[in-house]
Structure 1
């Protein structure tokens, strides 16, 4: 038997009540979002030093400013001869012939005594060796300075005669030169053609001592001989050096008294008509300067 109990009405579903928190969030969230966007756009941009700029409804980006202390000069490759000192010794002097007593005076070169200087030679048409050597020296100086070298000349037509061979050596020594090249042209017989480089031999006598410079001078001479031949298209001398273009001597004061690497170069024979045609050509003299320059650069870079 069952008991139903008193009758009740069926329960009605409860209508949800709108809570105040929900309403508050609905109002506050959009406002908070708008405020955050404005903060990030204004405050964030200020903090970043110009990075990202944000506007309501639109975001734009700008690249951050860059600063650099590097200049165009800093980006240039270093000059190969920067910090190097080269002394160029243009042989003889155009006005030596007016000072015969002075240039004939004997000076000590260690192994013996020799004339202070000579007048040099010339082509059959009268183009003087001293004029040739100074012209090539000027061209060579320009090329070396463009490479960054400090260049000094033993004379620049700025004195009445000389300097004497012992003073020429001292100029290179005082400059603490990394390389010294004495420029000449020979006065051999007709038919004797070509260039040759003269290097110091081993001398240890009197005021001369070349022992420390023989080896580096030989390297300098080989580099110049090779590059000179290539640049000028000429061959080593056919009358000295056994076709090598290399000669060693111990009777030249300019070499004996040097304490820094030094060589002489006889660029050709002024008394041979074919060589003379080259030596009197400005275009060829530029090639000669280029060849000597390349040899010096090669030597100084090891």
Structure 2
């Protein structure tokens, strides 16, 4: 998701020195970050030594990474039609496996945005209460310069992640799946789905839309918010633990570096302006897997091989968290 849009405030300029988050992540995953540095030194990240082909693999949803699709566009502000009906959130639920390390655990995966949002701008522009203030229901998300949309990326990674977690016995629910519902859900509904499921862990998958040259992933943690319907105080510590484990495993498995434009090199950012985090009552984080507007990151994000690595890295962070919870 781009920082230039209704669901994100512009990031603050990087501080000249690293804060306490650097110590937290470094203490958790020193081997992972060191491994990335060695990996970079001997041949680069994400697979081959050059740019990864945008048509290297098909998505698990059945559409090839290189197939044509209209680029996601910035959603304009507007007023929803008076008779617009909000469809029920799509929930992909499967029974847990008979055995596995995660049997009895519930994970909610929230694929950022929805491919249908571009056709429902009036509906997604309606305001919803996120506790600290009001925001648009949802946005269209960003895309690569070649038109591969964030919504397609997040759904593909969500499918891959679901398959990995289900093989280990988890019950996995998606906030939406394909065209069900045809747009949204709104950010408050996305949080409510995880809350209603009593998820042991929830994660929202995104990709950023920052300036070219800005590279890397970052995990967004909920700030301690107590305003209106939002009260994240009971989940901030567990969410931080989840986020640190996801960040450490993501860098180790994918080779994608921590963001060079937010987070002071830690791969961790704390925010209080996201409804999906503010309204959550279960441990939850967002992950921005890379910057779609940077050519090097875009080459990774459009590779099916790399998206499988992304799903694996996220899953290993979640598994590590659930085994300790």
User: Shorter chain as normaliser: what TM range?
Assistant: 0.7 to 0.9
Matched, 1:142 2:163: yes
CA distance in structure 2 between the aligned counterparts of 1:155 and 1:184, rounded to whole angstroms: 14
CA distance in structure 1 between the aligned counterparts of 2:99 and 2:155, rounded to whole angstroms: 29
The structure 2 residue matched to 1:178, chosen from 180, 185, 200, is 200
Q: Which runs of 5+ in 1 are unaligned?
A: 1-76
Is contact 2:99–2:168 with CA below 8 Å preserved after alignment? no
CA distance in structure 2 between the aligned counterparts of 1:264 and 1:183, rounded to whole angstroms: 6
Q: Which runs of 5+ in 2 are unaligned?
A: 1-97
The structure 2 residue matched to 1:85, chosen from 101, 106, 115, is 106
CA distance in structure 2 between the aligned counterparts of 1:147 and 1:110, rounded to whole angstroms: 35
1:301 alignment partner, SS class: helix
Matched, 1:96 2:96: no
The structure 2 residue matched to 1:155, chosen from 176, 190, 193, is 176
1:1-302 paired onto structure 2 within 5 Å: 79-157=100-178, 158-302=180-324
1:117 alignment partner, SS class: coil
1:60-87 superposed Cα distances (whole Å, 9 cap, x missing partner): xxxxxxxxxxxxxxxxx95110000000
Scaled by the length of structure 1, what TM-score is found?
A: 0.74
2:108 alignment partner, SS class: strand
* Pairwise CA distance, 1:245: 0.2
Q: Which has the higher helix share?
A: 1
Is contact 2:200–2:283 with CA below 8 Å preserved after alignment? yes
4+ long deviations beyond 6 Å: none
Moved more, 92-101 or 277-286: 92-101
Bigger relative contact order (CA 8 A; separation at least 6): 2
* Pairwise CA distance, 1:168: 0.1
2:115 alignment partner, SS class: coil
CA distance in structure 1 between the aligned counterparts of 2:101 and 2:262, rounded to whole angstroms: 34
Which entry has the higher C-alpha Rg, 1 or 2?
Answer: 1
Scaled by the length of structure 2, what TM-score is found?
A: 0.69
* Pairwise CA distance, 1:246: 0.2
RMSD over aligned Cα atoms: 0.9
